[in-house]
C-alpha cells in the first residue's frame, strides 16, 4: 500500500506559518528529493494557491536559485489532488479537484498502485492526523522562535497519543534540522 507522508517546515516553537520559515537551499533540495520519491501531491485549497501559480511560473522562467528552480520543475511534474469546495478549476493540467469525503478519497488513493503520496499544508494534514491515516512525518525545524502564528497540531484532537519512530535526521547549515518519523 502507498504511504501517506506529511511534510512541513516549522519553527522551534512549532509555528508552521509559511512566512515564518527559513527557506534555505538545503531545505529546497530536501523537499525536491522528497517529491522525487512520490508521485502524488495532496493539498487543500489554501496551500494549493500558495504553490500555484507561483512555482509553475518559476519552473517556466527558471528565475530563482538553482535549488529553487529544480524544486519548481519537480513540483510541476507531479500529479496533484486538491481538496476544495470552492475552487472551480485547477490552473494546471495534472491537477484534479476533489470535493468528496477526504478520508474515503485518501484511503482509496492509498490502495491504488503507485509511489507514496505527499501531503502539505496545515488544515488537510490536521484532519488526516485526526483520522490517524498519516504513515510518515517529515518535520524541518528551523532554529527560530517566533512567538506567534498557527502551530502544528493546534486544534487537532487525536484519538490517542501517537507514538512515532525516529528513522532519520539531518542537519542543514542554516541550523534547520530535518526529522523523519514513521507511525508505529
Partner 1 sequence: MADSLNAATKYVATHRPDSLGWGPAEGLGPDIVEGVRRIKAKGGPDLIVWGSSTLTPALLEHGLADEVLLLVFPVLLGTGKRFFSDGAPPRELALVRHEGCVLGRHHKHLQTQRALADRLLRTTPRRKRHTLTSTGT
> Using CB under 8 A as the criterion, which residues of the chain lie in contact with partner 1 when the complex forms?
12-14, 129, 141, 143-148, 151, 153, 156-158, 161-169, 171, 175-177, 179, 181
Strand blocks (E) in 12-84: 38-44, 79-83
**Per-residue cell: 139:** 518535520
Closest CA to 183 of 45, 1, 6: 6
Smallest distance, partner 1 to C-beta of residue 69, A: 27
Our CB check for partner 1 shows the closer of 99 and 103 to be 103
Smallest distance, partner 1 to C-beta of residue 146, A: 5
Residues 43/119, Cβ–Cβ less than 8 Å: yes
Our CB check for partner 1 shows the closer of 37 and 171 to be 171
**Rounded CA separation 57/76 (Å):** 10
Our CB check for partner 1 shows the closer of 12 and 57 to be 12
Smallest distance, partner 1 to C-beta of residue 143, A: 4
**Per-residue cell: 90:** 485547477
**Per-residue cell: 166:** 525516529
Our CB check for partner 1 shows the closer of 7 and 82 to be 7
Our CB check for partner 1 shows the closer of 46 and 150 to be 150
Residue in this structure with the C-alpha cell 524541518, named with its chain if needed: 140
Q: Which residues, including other chains, have CB under 8 Å from residue 82's CB and lie 6 or more apart?
A: 42, 43, 44, 45, 48, 90, 95, 96, 97, 98
Smallest distance, partner 1 to C-beta of residue 30, A: 15
* 3-class DSSP assignment, residue 16: coil
Smallest distance, partner 1 to C-beta of residue 140, A: 12
Amino acid at each position: 500500500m502507498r504511504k501517506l507522508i506529511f511534510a512541513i517546515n516549522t519553527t522551534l516553537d512549532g509555528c508552521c506559518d509559511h512566512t515564518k520559515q527559513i527557506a534555505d537551499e538545503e531545505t529546497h533540495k530536501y523537499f525536491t528529493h522528497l517529491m522525487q520519491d512520490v508521485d502524488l501531491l495532496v493539498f487543500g485549497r489554501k496551500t494549493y494557491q500558495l504553490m500555484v501559480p507561483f512555482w509553475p511560473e518559476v519552473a517556466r522562467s527558471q528565475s530563482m536559485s538553482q535549488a529553487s528552480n529544480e524544486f519548481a520543475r519537480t513540483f510541476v511534474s507531479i500529479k496533484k489532488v486538491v481538496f476544495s469546495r470552492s475552487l472551480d478549476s485547477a490552473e494546471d493540467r495534472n491537477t484534479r479537484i476533489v470535493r468528496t469525503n477526504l478520508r474515503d478519497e485518501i484511503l482509496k488513493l492509498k490502495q491504488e498502485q503507485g509511489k507514496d503520496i505527499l501531503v502539505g499544508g496545515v488544515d488537510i494534514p490536521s484532519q488526516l492526523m485526526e483520522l490517524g491515516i498519516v504513515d510518515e512525518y517529515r518535520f524541518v525545524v528551523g532554529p527560530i522562535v517566533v512567538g506567534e502564528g498557527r502551530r502544528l497540531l493546534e486544534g487537532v484532537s487525536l484519538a490517542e497519543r501517537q507514538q512515532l519512530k525516529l528513522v532519520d535526521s539531518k542537519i542543514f547549515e542554516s541550523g534547520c534540522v530535518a526529522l523523519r518519523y514513521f507511525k508505529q
